[in-house]
A and B are shown apart, each in its own frame.
Chain A
Amino acid sequence: MNFIVRRVAQTLFVLVLMSFVSYAMMALMPGDPLDIACAANPRCNPENILEMKRQLGLDRPIPERFVKWAAAAVQGDLGYSRTYQRPVTEILWPRLLNSMWLGLLSSFVALVVAIPLGILVGVMPRKKIDYIVNMFCFVGVSSPSFWLGLMFIYLFSVQLGWLPAGGVQTVDGMEDLSGWAAVLDRLKYMILPVLTLTLLTIAGWVRQTRSAMIEVMSMDYIRTARAKGLAPVQVILKHGVRNAMLPVVTVVALGLSGVFSGAVITETVFAYNGVGKLLYDSILGNDYNVAMCAFVVSCAGVLIASLVADLCYAMLDPRIKLK
């Protein structure tokens, strides 16, 4: 229990620290909203800006402003978006849901493909299939995701015209769609982003699973299991996989961070309205209230995922005591 409490406290501390640092960094971004507003108004002069800043409390030191922001945020008031002209909470929730669907689907696909494949090549290293899979993984972990996405768009949208190039759902005639038709429509828009995300994740996870399997299969207890006459399948599944999964679980749990934090690049390439794209758009658009929240949500996603990874590891490995 002690371990869990300490780990949770540590996560919260890093999160608060991170929010503060990012809050301070936002002040260093180019393009002050007030300056922008002023530049659009010919009757505005520098004294007006100073007066406005004083009224809005923007002349206060950054720590003081941060405390005010955080206090409001904890109570559910995340501020107002400059570009969307709506409260941030209203914008954030649908984006979060979109990102979660994308993340869950791609993690699921990656998991179903990567783990069995990794086990397969892990038990037969240096065979032809191992070389082929290894080669694919090398290319997978080395390819820039945005380029992969663009290539898929070119192939499947521009050339073949099978799938939409970007977006979340069909905008025209959405009213007519309901139930399964709406779900299928959204799935159609998710195929390419999921393909891009999974290819990269699969490559990484297969490599992890493979090396874990190779290491475990060289252990003495595997030889013992074989020596006492167990069927090869049983040796692999009961003695090999169970032990090899330990490090893999951590990597997979860490990979799940994308479920909450969104995938900035993939979402941007496919114009998929998730948290990642929101973060990018709001930073470019000087929409600091939105950028702050999207950033903190992204950080929280990753921190929670690594917390889950640590807890999983501690629970699965009896050698690590939770006490």
Chain B
Amino acid sequence: MEWRLIWERFREHKAGLWGLWAVLAIALIAIFAPAIGAALGLDPYAQDILLRYAPPGNGHPLGTDEAGRDFLIRLIYGAQVSVGVAVLSTVASMIVGVIIGAIAGYYGGLWDAFLMRFTDALLSLPLLPVLILLAAMDFAKLPGLGLFFADGDASLTKMVLIFVLFSWMTVARLVRGQILQLKEMEFVTAARSLGMRDARIILRHVLPSVLPAVIVAVSLAVGQTILFESALSFLGLGIQPPLASWGNMLNNGLETLSAAPMLVFLPGFCILVVVVAFNFIGDGLQHALDPKSVKR
């Protein structure tokens, strides 16, 4: 489908458009977080034990948190981490899913049976308990991986890795199903009779037709990943302080609730807004990419 046409149809979907603007705005804020911090003279990691739970004002636009750090700049840096981790791991898992789905669907037979059994097994697991277990693991103890998880931001790498491991399955099944149908089509037979290599047929002729469905699935998956990351970080198993994520800012939620309820409300509200925005985009994309869908 042509990009102009897709954009025209996407624009018809008002909620999707709102979602897109919201995500773009948040992405801009996240990207320019250091610049904003410098402009306001705020540091997300500077603690001031004497200034815990300070009310808004006095150089701290939204007050300070339980360690006396400026809340506004932590919220902004939190956007970087929360949205960044989700987008990164979703895109990576999409690539994994497309590859596995394409192999299973295109080659069929034993490959298909093995890969799809594996996919089904992973899909049947209770996601949250498994994620908690994985997040609690010390990855540095794994042979060969110690190097990647030795530095201070290890929790970031770990989160992305965990989410990639456990979110490629939907895309893989989607791609496989589509390719199973497509590979019987004449244009694939034609390409094969021209002597094209498998990789080229998959990349040039089959994948473009699968892409719309994958894009929709991915935009919906970003929201889910943000929710899971924030839940893990809330439990203290995800992104580790001093790094700020919207989830781990609520880590002390129960204690903070009586001292400064705003500090509990805002991070969660940010999560809500971003996830709603991504879900709206997914809805809008579905409308734009699926010719059969009717405007609601």
Contacts and interface: CB of A to CB of B under 8 A. Distances in A.
Contacts of B267: 147
A294 to B, nearest CB: 8
Contacts of A138: 276, 279-280
A283 B132 contact: yes
B227 A279 contact: no
Interface string B117-161: 000010011101100111011110110000000000000000000
Interface in B267-281: 267-269, 271-272, 275-276, 279-280
B257 A158 contact: yes
- Is the interface on chain B under 10, 10 to 19, 20 to 34, or 35 or more residues? 35 or more
B33 interface: no
Interface string A141-171: 1111111101101100010000001000000
A153 B257 contact: yes
A30 interface: yes
Identify which of B141, B236, B253 gathers the most chain A CB atoms within 10 Å of its CB: B253
Given A144-B271, A150-B250, A264 B129 contact: yes
Given A138-B279, A302-B126, A126 B272 contact: no
A146 B253 contact: yes
B126 A301 contact: yes
B38 to A, nearest CB: 30
Nearest to B229: A144
Contacts of B276: 138-139, 142
Interface string B46-74: 00000000000000000000000000000
Contacts of A79: none
Nearest to A125: B296
B136 A284 contact: yes
A306 B253 contact: no
B133 A126 contact: no
B251 to A, nearest CB: 10
A25 B253 CA distance: 29
A201 interface: no
A165 B149 CA distance: 38
B126 A257 contact: yes
Contact of B235 (A17, A265, A299, A302): A265
Main SS class of interface, B:
helix
B234 A265 contact: yes
A143 B226 CA distance: 10
A300 to B, nearest CB: 9
A118 B279 CA distance: 19
A146 B234 contact: yes
Nearest to A302: B126
Interface string B253-296: 11001100100110111011001100110000000000000001
B85 interface: no
Interface in A19-77: 22, 25, 28-30
B86 interface: no
Contacts of A30: 138, 141
B231 interface: yes
A80 B266 CA distance: 42
Contacts of B132: 264, 279-280, 283
A134 B14 CA distance: 14
A176 to B, nearest CB: 29
Contacts of B253: 146-147, 150, 269
Contact of A295 (B133, B261, B275): B133
B129 A144 contact: no
A303 B138 CA distance: 27
B137 to A, nearest CB: 5
Contact of B231 (A144, A153, A295): A144
Contacts of A25: 133-134, 137
Interface string A290-319: 010001001101110010000000000000
Contact of B264 (A150, A280, A295): A150
B225 interface: no
Interface in A236-264: 257, 261, 264
A145 B247 CA distance: 11
Contact of A302 (B125, B236, B261, B264): B125
Contacts of B141: 28, 30
Contacts of B121: 14, 17
B136 A298 contact: no
Given A28-B138, A142-B223, A299-B125, A150 B268 contact: yes
Contact of A29 (B138, B254, B279): B138
B89 interface: no
B230 interface: yes
A265 B231 contact: yes
Interface string B91-131: 00000000000000000000000000000010011101100
A144 B227 contact: yes
Nearest to B123: A306
Contacts of A17: 121
B212 to A, nearest CB: 19
Contacts of A139: 272, 276
Q: Which 8 A-B pairs have the closest CB atoms?
A: A147-B268, A302-B126, A142-B275, A30-B138, A298-B129, A142-B276, A283-B136, A150-B253
Given A144-B268, A298-B126, 16 more contacts: A14-B121, A18-B125, A28-B142, A29-B137, A29-B138, A30-B141, A134-B296, A143-B268, A147-B230, A154-B257, A154-B264, A265-B231, A265-B234, A268-B235, A299-B125, A301-B126
21 contacts: A28-B138, A138-B280, A142-B272, A143-B275, A146-B230, A146-B250, A146-B253, A147-B253, A147-B267, A147-B272, A150-B250, A153-B257, A154-B264, A158-B258, A261-B126, A264-B132, A264-B235, A284-B236, A291-B133, A299-B125, A299-B129
